[in-house]
């Protein structure tokens, strides 16, 4: 991956709807080589897909919480069962297996505190695998991006 590929990735992260023609003019190439570079980045799995980023408040999900989850045991079957169970909950928008005081870090998006309580009591905590859940609620977001710093050396 060279500097031109990195620039293409930066531009696509800013606006994935730019056409090959628009991208080509920004990176100083013609349309065909730009298109071929994008296809290669897609084929290599560097570009995993394209999405629309939504405003959580405007779609009715203003409450963001981070849940620190500890499992009762660290055995393969329980880890796999937990992974499968969290995939069933649309409220969980991110799940990371972490090292440290907890086993998993979940990013949860819900309508309000009532819905969060319902999610915890009736969905997440109903799992017999979980020993603890500690939650931090987001008061204000200072920085939120999906763009990766692809040009760092």
Taking only the tens place, the pLDDT of each residue in 108-138 is 999 999 999 999 999 998 877 899 999 999 9
The two tokens of residue 141 are 């977001």
Q: Domains in the chain, please, with CATH?
A: 3-43 (1.10.10.10), 63-137 (3.30.70.920)
Predicted pLDDT of residue 152: 58
If you average pLDDT over residues 92-112, what whole number do you get? 96
- What pLDDT, in 10s, does the model give residues 37-72? 999 999 999 999 999 999 999 999 999 999 999 998
The reported pLDDT for the residue numbered 125 is: 84
Looking at residue 87, what DSSP letter applies?
A: T
Q: Alpha carbon of 135 to those of 30, 45, 87, 150: distances in Å? A: 51, 34, 19, 32
Q: Are 86 and 71 in contact (CB under 8 A)?
A: no
Q: What is the pTM of this model?
A: 0.87
Could you give the CA distance from residue 14 to residue 39 in angstroms, rounded to a whole number? 18
Q: b/e string for 41-53 if b means 16 or more Cβ within 10 A?
A: beeeeebeeeeee
Question: What six digits make up the tokens of 27?
Answer: 């990176």
**128 vs 111: CA distance, rounded Å:** 26
């Amino acid at each position: 991956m060279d500097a031109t590929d990195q620039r293409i990735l930066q531009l696509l992260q800013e606006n994935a709807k730019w056409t090959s023609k628009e991208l080509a003019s920004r990176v100083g190439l013609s349309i065909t080589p730009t298109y071929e570079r994008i296809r290669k980045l897609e084929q290599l799995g560097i570009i995993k897909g394209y999405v629309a980023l939504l405003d959580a408040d405007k779609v009715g999900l203003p409450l963001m919480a981070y849940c620190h989850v500890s499992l009762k045991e660290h055995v393969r079957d329980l880890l796999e069962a937990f992974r499968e169970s969290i995939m069933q909950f649309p409220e969980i928008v991110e799940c990371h297996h972490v090292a440290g005081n907890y086993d998993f870090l979940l990013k949860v998006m819900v309508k309000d505190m009532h819905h969060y309580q319902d999610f915890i009591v009736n969905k997440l905590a109903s799992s017999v695998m979980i020993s603890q859940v500690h939650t931090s609620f987001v008061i204000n977001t200072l920085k939120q991006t999906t763009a990766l710093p692809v040009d760092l050396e």
